[in-house]
Chains A and B, each alone.
Chain A
Amino acid sequence: MKTAFGLIFLACLLSSATLFSQSTNSPYSILGIGDIETDFYNRTGGMANSGQAYRSDRFLINNNPASYTALQKQFFSFELAARGQFINYSGTPLTGTSASGKDFAIKRLSLGTKITNWWGSSAGLMPYSTSNYLFSSVKNIQGTNSSVPVTYDGSGGVNQVYWSNAFQPFKHFSVGVKAAYLFGSLTQTENLTTEGLSTTLTTTRQIFYKNFNFLFGGQFYTALNKKWDFSLGGTYNPTQKLKTDGSVTVTDNSSQISNTASLANNSDFKLPNASGFGFSLTKNKKYTLNADYKYAGWTATNYFGGNYALRNSNRVSVGFEASNKVNYFNTLYEKSYLQAGVYYGNSYLQVNGQQLKQVGLTLGYGVNSKRNPKLGVSLGIDIGQRGTTQSNLIKENYVNFILTVSYRDLWNTTGPRYF
């Protein structure tokens, strides 16, 4: 029972953190449903999130739902990941100056276990997209030549709660499906203050999104020989519409003066067909090379605005990992690991005729506690940039620190404990 209470408490903390901890301005998140997460905030973080074919007996690899059959039986795992971000913006819209911001957000909470020899399962909660922006402007008083200052503050995002199941129908092959329920809202707040008219108008427009989303995956894995292991993996995410609803609340000097509970003219947001595949090559169970390619058909969603449109995105990444393992009672026990990776891709946003590119380098280090073998901690660093300063756009240079804490214990068993 203590475990259950503990998990509920942590889940509550996580949901609060997800809601309240985002403070970095991400100017492009004003478009669409915000910045759609491309990271998995798991062990593959140090390898540029290359993990379509990656399998782990201890860590929850949510890149591909087919991976959970690799989990060690009789154990359950709990993982919590958080990201700290330092970001610098540059570009013409900033009138020649640069700006910076910092942010912290809990990004993933997940549990996983292997239920039978052929069935692994994991459930979790993590953001699907986040929206965060703030800028000031002026608004004309209609009927006059006067304007009043106004600020626009965007926040919120779409979260996903998911349950993934992986099955191993026969040796060397697993399939999996992640059933996710996407839910959340994007909030845009317009604050208009004018002392001359003694009013502070706040218009809060909230768009709610919800629907199920499924990700299918498969992995093929085999030992090539005594030294080499090899696996292939792929995922497919069919197109899906996010059902939307909206509300607008207007307050004047903190008194609500208008509330439209349901907006009729919201069109559903369409998620595209997306797929990815990759391979993983491991030598001596210690050195692993991962490579992924991912693609999403955003162009077919036909989503566009004044001078922007969503375009097919792609991303290629390569990661390498060196694991420090020792043989402990005829079982390999991992003490620590080092990772490195690079990624490059075209994001789904095309603004002012430029499809935003994203490129970066990742490093990772993880350690499994000697004093408490149930506990593992990893720290990943992601140094990258998105966008460009051309075409009146903004370039983001960022450094992300990803902290992942994993805990595992025996799952409801009376058998002997080795760790």
Chain B
Amino acid sequence: MRTFPGTFSFLSALIFSLFIFCTGCQKTAIQYGQQYIDNGITNIILVDSIAPVVSTIYKDSVPTSQSGTILAGSYSDPYFGKTTTTSYLQLGPPTLTDLLNNAQYDSLVLLMKCNGTFYGDTTLPITLTARQLQSEIKFAENQVAFYNIDSWPVSSSSLGTKSFILRPLTGDSANIRLSDTKGMELYNLIKTKSTLLTDKNLFTDYFKGLNISSTTGNNIFGFKDSAVIRLYYHQTDVGPQNKYFDFTLYNKPLQFNQVNTDRSGTPLTALNSVNNELLSTAAGNRGYLQTLSGLYLKISFPSIRKLLERSDFIKIIRADLVVKPIANSYSGTYPLPSILYAAQTDGSNEPGPSLSSATAGNSFAETGNLSIDYIYGINTTYSYDVTGYLSQEITNSAINKDGLLLFPPADSRFSKPNRLVIGDAYNAKNKLQLNVYYISVNK
């Protein structure tokens, strides 16, 4: 049989070189033929008809001790009723120094500096009253915190009271002149260097603590927990000297805020430690949040699995939850929580892992991206990417009470009275929106 001599090599080389030529060929895009395309196989479809369930969760107690904030004041609003805060704290003895023989007591003043927290009309005055506690603040055995529902016996007589108009955002201070009787008593202890002042335990047994409350109903203010009782005196050495001793906050874990609420006239009266969940449908298509008084928002998605009933459904590629505060329920006087985390929860209504998103490979907790519509108020929103969460929930075939719990971050959760009222999916003006984009494949 004859064979291919050099020709085969020639042909092979030719084909190979043509291959090389081919790799440089690029297909040119020609805008023609769209009408002949069957483009109905794959689609991205937006579904906004899945109604999340909104409920207000009531926790009968939330920890308020060691929050770093002294809250005092009260206010009333049509959504939450009346909220009153009272603070309890313990003071320690001053560092003693020798007094000259000519030293004389001047005054006793409670000094508290605003920390920027406020709620209510700050153009109206607040009347603050300081009272001495009747018994020393102490944890019970195994107790590690005080709660919003806790209180402590307070002396009926006040050490001092004063009305102010405070400007919380400019670092204003509340200075309350206290009883000179108490002042002289403390001065004498200083002058004699009493053991009550040198032994802190003896001092806290002597001066059991301080209660700060308000009798006006216009507003609530937050103060730094660096509050002090300052005893002013003067003496003459080479020249006249004005001096003072500070009784500073002692044992910070024992400082706590009591929060009393009167929900009369609101749907929230239905909540108690037994009935601790209020569906929005039973509350005027609204959900309520004020974590300081134990109110959380829960949003659950029991009907998400209805997507599986669609024959074309493949997978969720994006799901956005848009939460809309009720218009006019917030203002500069009643500001919204600037950050609102969303955590996974179940029937226990305890917060689990936070909802998080990934950007550029980094995972971060979703904060709600508060966007405020200052003009009409109807487009103020918190928004969340719930893609991952719903992709997980849609696979859960068990009957469950899973959902997302909304609450402010830890540094303000139990130290600020900020509250929020949202509309549910049936609210006419401020409708909760769930936008689910899914991949559809028609087979």
B22 near A: Cβ within 8 Å? yes
B22 touches A23 (CB 8 A): yes
Q: Does A142 contact B (CB under 8 A)?
A: yes
A2-18 vs B: 1/0 string, CB under 8 Å? Answer: 11001001100110010
Chain A, residue nearest B441 (CB): A258
A91–B31 alpha-carbon span in the complex (Å): 10
Contact A93 B31 (CB under 8 A): yes
Task: Judge if B274 is at the interface, Cβ distance under 8 Å.
Answer: no
Query: Is B25's CB under 8 angstroms from A250's CB?
Result: no
Report the separation of the CA atoms of residues A13 and B13 in the bound assembly, to the nearest whole angstrom.
11
Task: Check if A30 is an interface residue, CB within 8 A of chain B.
Answer: yes
Residues in B with CB closer than 8 Å to A250 are 41-42, 314, 439, 441
Of all chain B residues, the one with the shortest Cβ separation from A87 is: B28
A198 an interface residue at 8 Å Cβ cutoff?
yes
Give the residue of B10, B18, B44 whose beta carbon is less than 8 angstroms from that of A141. B44
Q: How large is the interface on B (under 10, 10 to 19, 20 to 34, 35 or more residues)?
A: 35 or more
B44 (CB) vs chain A CBs: closest residue:
A141
Given A10-B15, A152-B33, A375-B7, also A24-B28 (CB < 8 A): yes
Q: Which of B22, B26, B28 contacts A20 (CB 8 A)?
A: B22
0/1 per residue, B7-29, Cβ < 8 Å to A?
Answer: 11011101100110110011111
Bound-state Cα–Cα, A198 to B19, Å: 36
A199 CB–B CB distance under 8 Å: yes
Restricting to B37-62, which residues have a CB under 8 Å from any CB of A? 37-39, 41-48
In Å, the complex CA distance between A142 and B44 comes to 6
A356 within 8 A of B: no
Shortest Cβ gap from A326 to chain B (Å): 22
* Pair A258/B18 contact, Cβ less than 8 Å: no
* Total number of A residues with any Cβ neighbor in B under 8 Å: 77
Contact A104 B439 (CB under 8 A): no
Would you call A132 an interface residue if the criterion is a C-beta within 8 Å of the partner chain's C-beta atoms?
A: yes
Give the contact stretch, choosing among A50-58, A122-130, A157-165, A406-414.
A406-414
Asked whether, in the complex, the Cβ of A135 is within 8 Å of the Cβ of B34, the reply is yes
* Interfacial residues of chain A within 247-288, with CB under 8 A of chain B in the complex: 248, 250, 252, 257-258, 260
Question: A136 to chain B: closest CB distance in Å?
Answer: 6
How far is B30's CA from A153's CA once the two chains are assembled, in angstroms?
10
Does A197 contact B44, Cβ atoms closer than 8 Å? yes
Q: Does B437 contact A (CB under 8 A)?
A: yes
Report which of A3, A21, A137 forms a contact with B3, defined as CB distance below 8 A: A3
Within the complex, what minimum Cβ distance (angstroms) separates B27 from chain A? 5
**How close is A175's CB to chain B, nearest CB, in angstroms?**
30
CB distance from B388 to the nearest CB of A (A): 11
Interface residues of A in 196-241 (CB under 8 A from B): 196-199, 201, 203, 205
Q: Does A149 have its Cβ within 8 Å of any Cβ on chain B?
A: no
The winner among B4, B14, B36 for most chain A CB atoms within 10 A is B36
Q: CA A93 – CA B32 in complex, angstroms?
A: 6
Contact B42 A133 (CB under 8 A): no
CB neighbours of A27 from chain B (8 A): 30, 32-33
Residues of B within 8 A of A135 (CB): 29-34
Please encode chain A, from 40 to 79, with 1 for each CB lying within 8 Å of some chain B CB and 0 for all others: 0000000000000000000000000000000000000000
Whether B317 contacts A374 by the Cβ 8 Å rule is: no
Select from chain B the residue with minimum beta-carbon distance to A394.
B32
The answer, yes or no, to whether B162 is at the interface (CB within 8 Å) is no
**Inter-subunit contact B439/A30 (CB<8 Å):** no
Complex contact A144–B46 (CB within 8 A): yes
Pick from A17, A93, A307: contact of B18, CB below 8 A.
A17
B358 CB, nearest partner CB in chain A, Å: 10
- Measured between beta carbons, the chain B residues less than 8 angstroms from A169 are none
Query: Which chain A residue shows the least CB distance to B387?
Result: A198
Q: Does A308 contact B (CB under 8 A)?
A: yes
Interface contact B7-A407, CB-CB below 8 Å: yes
Cβ-defined contact, A21 with B46, below 8 A: no
Binds B, one of A94-102, A316-324, A333-341: A94-102
- Which of B27, B34, B44 is within 8 Å of A101, CB to CB? B27
Q: Which residues of A contact B18 (CB under 8 A)?
A: 17, 21, 82, 104, 106
Q: Which residues of B contact A300 (CB under 8 A)?
A: none
Q: How far, in whole Å, are A323 and B327 apart by their CA atoms in the complex?
A: 93
Is B315 an interface residue when CB atoms closer than 8 A count as contact? Answer: yes
Residues of A within 8 A of B306 (CB): none
**B7 and A374 contact, CB distance less than 8 A:** yes
Q: Which of B7, B11, B37 contacts A188 (CB 8 A)?
A: B37
Chain B residue with minimal CB distance to A263?
B443
A190 touches B39 (CB 8 A): yes
Residue among B15, B30, B48 with the highest chain A CB neighbour number at 10 A: B30
Q: With an 8 A cutoff between CB atoms, is A325 at the interface?
A: no
> In the complex, A197 Cα to B443 Cα: how many Å?
23
Q: Is the CB of B22 within 8 A of A307?
A: no
Decide yes or no whether A134 CB sits under 8 A from chain B. Answer: yes
Contact A25 B15 (CB under 8 A): no
A100 to nearest B CB, angstroms?
A: 7
Q: Which residues of A contact B30 (CB under 8 A)?
A: 25, 27, 89, 93-94, 99, 133-135, 394
B6 an interface residue at 8 Å Cβ cutoff? yes
Nearest Cβ on chain A to B23's Cβ, whole angstroms: 9
The answer to whether A257 and B29 touch across the interface, beta carbons within 8 angstroms, is: no
Min CB distance B9 to A, Å, is 10
Cα-based distance from A412 to B335 in the complex (angstroms): 99
Contact mask B404-443 → A, CB, 8 Å, 1/0? 0000000000000000000000000000000001011101
Nearest A residue to B42, CB-CB: A203
* Chain B nearest Cβ from A21, distance in angstroms: 4
Q: Which residues of B contact A150 (CB under 8 A)?
A: 39
Q: Contacting A134 at CB < 8 Å: which of B29, B317, B443?
A: B29
Bound-state CA distance A236–B314 (Å) is 49
How many Å lie between the Cα of A196 and that of B435 in the bound state? 14
Cα of A134 to Cα of B43 in the assembled complex, Å: 20
Q: Which residue of A lies closest to B4 (CB)?
A: A6
The answer to whether B2 and A409 have CB atoms under 8 Å apart is yes
Closest residue of B by beta carbon distance from A151: B29
- In the bound complex, do residue A23 and residue B37 qualify as a contact, i.e. CB atoms below 8 Å apart? no
A141–B46 CB distance below 8 A? yes
Q: Give every chain A residue within 8 A of B45 (Cβ-Cβ).
A: 141-143
In the assembled complex, the CB of A28 is this many whole angstroms from the nearest CB of chain B, namely 8
| Residues from chain B with Cβ under 8 Å of A260 in the complex | 443
Determine if A104 and B22 form an interchain contact, defined as CB atoms under 8 angstroms apart: yes
Min CB gap A111→B, angstroms:
13
Given the known inter-chain contacts A203-B42, A394-B32, please indicate yes or no for A252 contacting B439, CB distance below 8 A.
yes
Smallest CB–CB gap between B45 and chain A, Å? Answer: 4
In the complex, residue of chain A having the shortest beta-carbon distance to the beta carbon of B48: A143
Knowing A10-B12, A201-B42, A372-B6 are in contact, say whether A31-B19 is a contact too (CB < 8 A): no
Beyond the given pairs A25-B27, A106-B18, A374-B7, 19 more chain A to chain B contacts, judged by CB atoms under 8 angstroms and listed by A's residue number, are: A3-B2, A21-B19, A30-B32, A135-B30, A141-B46, A143-B46, A143-B47, A152-B37, A152-B39, A153-B27, A190-B37, A192-B42, A203-B42, A205-B41, A258-B314, A306-B36, A405-B11, A409-B2, A412-B1
A–B Cβ pairs within 8 angstroms, 26 of them = A2-B3, A13-B15, A23-B22, A24-B28, A27-B32, A30-B36, A80-B11, A89-B30, A101-B26, A104-B22, A135-B32, A136-B29, A139-B44, A141-B44, A142-B43, A152-B34, A188-B38, A190-B42, A192-B42, A197-B44, A203-B441, A250-B439, A252-B314, A252-B315, A372-B5, A372-B6
Residues of chain B whose beta carbon lies under 8 Å from any beta carbon of chain A? 1-8, 10-12, 14-15, 18-19, 21-22, 25-39, 41-48, 314-315, 317-318, 437, 439-441, 443
Which A residues fall within an 8 A CB radius of B?
2-3, 6, 9-10, 13-14, 17, 20-21, 23-25, 27, 30-31, 80, 82, 84, 89, 91, 93-95, 99-104, 106, 132-137, 139, 141-144, 148, 150-153, 188, 190, 192, 194, 196-199, 201, 203, 205, 248, 250, 252, 257-258, 260, 305-308, 372, 374-375, 394, 405, 407, 409-410, 412
Q: Which 3 A-B pairs have the closest CB atoms?
A: A143-B46, A23-B25, A101-B28
